[in-house]
Structure 1
Amino acid sequence: MVTAAKRPPPNWQRLLAGGGSGGGGGGGGADGDAPPPPLLRIEERPLARLWAGYGSIKELIVTQPPAPGGSGGGGGGGGGGVRRLVAKSVDPPRGKAGDAGHQRKLRSYAVEAEFYRECAPRLAALAASLGLDPRRPAASDRAAAASDAASDPFSWCWTPEAYVIEAEPPDHFLFVMSDLRQQFPQQPHSYDLEEAKLALEWLASFHAAWWEEEQPEGLWEDGCYWHLATRQEELQQIGGTWGELRRAAAPVDEALRGGSGGGGRGGGGGGGRFVTLCHGDAKSANFMFSSDGRAAAAYDYQYCGSGYGTKDVAYLLISSADEDTLREHEGALLDHYHAALTARLARLGKAEAARAFTRRVLGVHYDLALVDFCRFMAGWGFWGAAGYAKARCREVLGRLPAALAAAAAAAEGRPL
Structure 2
Amino acid sequence: MIPEIFIKRQLNANQVQYLARVQSLWSGYGEIAKYQVQMDNESKSVILKQIHLPENVTHVRGWHSEFAHQRKVRSYHVEAAWYQGWAVRCSDESRVAECYGVYLNEETGDQYLLLEDLDSVGLAERHARLSVEDCLVCLNWLANFHGEFLRPMERQDAAPSSWPQELWPIGTYWHLATRKSEWQAMAEDPLKTEAGRMSERLLKAQYQTLVHGDAKVANFCFSEDGRQVAAVDFQYVGAGIGVQDVAYFLGSALSEEDLAASLPYLLEHYFAELGQAIVARGESQDLATAVIDEWQSLFATAWADFHRFLLGWSPDHVKNTAFSRAITDQALAELTTLE
TM-score normalised over the length of structure 1: 0.73
Q: Of 236, 240, 254, which aligns to 2:200?
A: 254
Structure 2 counterpart of 1:63, from 29, 32, 38: 38
Distance 2:167 2:325 in 1: 31
Q: How many residues align?
A: 319
1:88-99 matched pairs, under 5 angstroms? 88-94=49-55, 99=66
Paired with 2:118 and 2:33, the residues of 1 have a C-alpha distance of: 13
Asked if 1 retains the 8 angstrom alpha-carbon contact of 2:51 and 2:111, the reply is yes
Offset from partner CA, 1:13-48 (integer Å, 9 cap, x none): x323433xxxxxxxxxxxxxxx64x42342331111
Q: SS of the residue aligned with 1:45? A: strand
Query: Which ranges of structure 1 fall in alignment gaps of 5 or more residues?
Result: 1-7, 20-34, 67-80, 133-155, 264-272, 406-416
Q: What SS does the corresponding residue of 1:104 show, helix, strand or coil?
A: helix
Aligned residue type for 2:148: A
Q: Does 1:304 pair with 2:237?
A: yes
Per-residue deviation, residues 162-181 of structure 1 (Å, max 9, x unmatched): 11211235621111100111
Asked if the contact 1:323–1:385 (Cα under 8 Å) also holds between the matched residues in 2, the reply is no
- Which residue of structure 1 aligns with residue 165 of structure 2? 217
Code of the aligned partner of 1:199: C
Tell me the residue number matched to 1:104: 71
Name 1:23's counterpart in structure 2.
Answer: none
Given that 1:275 and 1:306 are in contact with CA atoms closer than 8 Å, whether structure 2 keeps it comes out as: yes
Structure 1 residue 114 displacement after superposition: 0.4
How many angstroms apart in 1 are the aligned matches of 2:175 and 2:245? 12
Amino acid at match of 1:225: Y
Contact 2:172–2:212 (Cα < 8 Å) also in 1: yes
| Corresponding residue number in structure 1 for 2:176 | 228
Contact 2:311 2:320 in 1 (8 A): no
1:317 aligns with 2:250: yes
- Which entry has the higher C-alpha Rg, 1 or 2? 1
Contact 1:321–1:385, Cα closer than 8 Å, also in 2: no
- Within the candidate set 173, 189, 199, 2:111 is matched to 173
Q: 1:98 to 1:380 in 2, by over 3 A?
A: closer
Q: What is the CA deviation profile of residues 160-201 of structure 1, one whole-angstrom value per residue up to 9, with x for unaligned ones?
A: 111121123562111110011122122221111122111111
Contact 2:36 2:45 in 1 (8 A): yes
Map of 1:205 onto structure 2: 144
SS of alignment partner, residue 175 of structure 1:
strand
Q: Does residue 394 of structure 1 match 2:324? A: no
Identity %: 32
| Deviation of 1:239 (Å) | 1.0
TM-superposition CA deviations, 1:84-121 (whole Å, max 9, x none): 11111001112579611111101100110100110112
Report the equivalent of 2:127: 188
Tell me by how many angstroms 1:354 deviates: 0.6
Does residue 52 (structure 1) correspond to residue 27 (structure 2)? The answer is yes
Q: Distance in 2 between matches of 1:377 and 1:385?
A: 7
For the Cα contact (< 8 Å) 1:119–1:216, is it kept in 2?
A: no
Mapped partners of 1:329, 1:91: distance in 2: 42
How far the C-alpha of 1:357 sits from its partner, in A, is 2.2
Partner Cα separation in structure 2 for residue 245 and residue 98 of structure 1: 25
Contact residue 99 and residue 114 of structure 2 kept, 8 A: yes
Show the counterpart of 2:94: 157
